Structure 1
Amino acid sequence: MNVEIKAKVRNLAKLLDKAKLISGSEGKVLSQIDQFYDAVQGRLKLRKFEGGDAELIYYDRPDDEGPKLSSYEKCTIHASEVDTLDRILKFSVGGKGIVKKVRHLFMVGQTRLHVDIVENLGNFMELEVVLKPEQTFEEGQSIANGLMEKLEIDKDDLLAGAYRDMLQAT
């Protein structure tokens, strides 16, 4: 389980500098292509990486602004199986759109900090506080709120939904 937030980024360079400072690292840059599929509940996507491998990710979270609880499952797909799995999923449940992004990934304690440059959409950031089994939503929410403060994320910049939803709305 994660506690997540998503927000618009007004100044990409400033946020990247703050993320490097807070994480004590240069982070990792990842190019990702997410193919979304129809799902009865939650969201289902095949995330393709530059090296050819992918992850099939199912996640479910409310489409609310601010910190929210997210459950997820994922599995690694080897490069030789990615195209076949994509075809099977499109035939069986239907494709729902593609999101292309460059992600800067930083680790801050138990939190994944993503700074995303999303093609045809803009710049965003996400916090994913990975909850330990003994932690409550409120503890994760407190961690997320503290990081939002350090990163100077304004509550007016918080977003609901997924990038795919935002792209469909444009």
Structure 2
Amino acid sequence: MPSNVEIKARVSNATRLAERASQLSQSEGTVIRQQDTFFNCSTGRLKLRNLMDGSGQLIFYERPDCDGPKVSNYSLSTTQDPEGLRTVLADSLGVKGEVRKERRLFLVGQTRVHLDSVEGLGHYMELEVVLREDQRPEEGEAIARSLMKELGVGNDSLVTGAYVDLLLEGQG
């Protein structure tokens, strides 16, 4: 199962973070609109990501709910019928919640830097250090912590859980 090291943090100044990420990635980033539907499941999280272009991804992942860098193990399958798949999964498993966001993606080395504007929550940043098969999680954690510093993200901004959890807890 592929894995990455991930952190999530609140962003107080999205413009400044975008400028820093743009400098580090040497790009303006790619804007992606996404609607994630989370389904009830007994372990981990199961979500269908509608990429709003007729395609989607079904993603199962397991990750501890703690702040700071954490390892996420995941599996992914693509679909060309996200609405049809959503209906089947909703009917069979039930919907836990939905997240709508506009994501600006920057690539910095092996790290995906996401600057997210989440409907009902505000601005957040995610770092996903995609681990190679020969890499230990500790290496990914070191990369994530270093990038946090370069982006000006402090430990006091870190959040636990997924956006859907924050929405369900009413933290928006």
Deviations 1:20-50 (A, max 9, x none): 0011111100000001100111101110012
The corresponding residue for 1:112 is 112
Distance in 1 separating the partners of 2:75 and 2:91? 22
Distance in 2 separating the partners of 1:29 and 1:85? 24
Give TM-score scaled by structure 1 length: 0.97
Deviations 1:120-165 (A, max 9, x none): 1110000000001111111000000100000010100001000000
Give the % identical residues: 49
Select which of 8, 15, 18 maps to 1:16.
Answer: 18
Gaps (5+ residues) in structure 2?
A: none
Letter in 2 for 1:123: H
Distance in 2 separating the partners of 1:137 and 1:56? 24
The corresponding residue for 1:60 is 62
Q: How many residues get paired?
A: 168
Distance in 2 separating the partners of 1:85 and 1:142? 38
Residues 138-157 of structure 1 correspond to what in structure 2 (within 5 A)?
138-157=138-157
Deviations 1:75-107 (A, max 9, x none): 1100xx222211111111111111000000010
- Deviation larger for 50-59 or 147-156: 50-59
Give TM-score scaled by structure 2 length: 0.96
The corresponding residue for 2:89 is 89
Report the secondary structure of 1:59's partner residue.
strand
CA RMSD in angstroms, aligned pairs only: 0.7
Gaps (5+ residues) in structure 1?
A: none
Report the secondary structure of 2:153's partner residue.
coil
Distance in 2 separating the partners of 1:160 and 1:82? 28
